Structure 1
């Protein structure tokens, strides 16, 4: 059980908020791209080529966006832990 008051909480920095929402946005984008690929494959797009147009970017987003979102979230967590440790030390 914590002995700290809720009034002593550290304020949320704008960069933390931006990174958190960007992480959420990238995850949502990856999910949308995943479903776009699933729907495109299921609707019988034999005439469409997945190697051309916007499809390579959509499929790359499915692989890259979750990794970037995870890294952003880890950045937020580590910076929060560092700030709390500095605040608890008094410096």
Structure 2
């Protein structure tokens, strides 16, 4: 089984897929945490310092920048690989 995309484009590596799915997963979890906090406030949750709420509140502060950096790394790796493929080396 070949990992080349149709049209003779550069191959998609396993690391590219891992970075893409991990960044997507982190972004989705972060958005879910945002929504949980937005829904919890009108629902009457007043103590955000107990239970799982501190993790839910801090996770977007860490996960969204990390997802952004992973997407940035994926783009840089793709551009470098395409430049090398176009050069022939």
The answer to which structure, 1 or 2, has the higher relative contact order (CA under 8 A, 6+ apart) is 1
Which 4+ stretches in 1 moved above 6 angstroms? none
Tell me the TM-score normalised to structure 1 length: 0.85
The equivalent of 1:70 in structure 2 is 68
- Deviation for aligned residue 1:84: 0.7
**Distance (whole Å) between structure 1 residues aligned to residue 58 and residue 15 of structure 2:** 26
Tell me the TM-score normalised to structure 2 length: 0.87
Gaps of 5+ in 1: 1-5
User: 1:67-90, CA deviations, whole angstroms, 9 ceiling, x for partnerless residues?
Assistant: 111101001100000011111111
What is the RMSD of the two structures over their aligned residues, measured on CA atoms? 1.2
Alignment of 1:1-91 (within 5 A): 7-46=7-46, 49-91=47-89
Gaps of 5+ in 2: 1-5
Give the length in aligned residue pairs.
84
User: 1:34-68, CA deviations, whole angstroms, 9 ceiling, x for partnerless residues?
Assistant: 1111111111123xx21122111111112111111
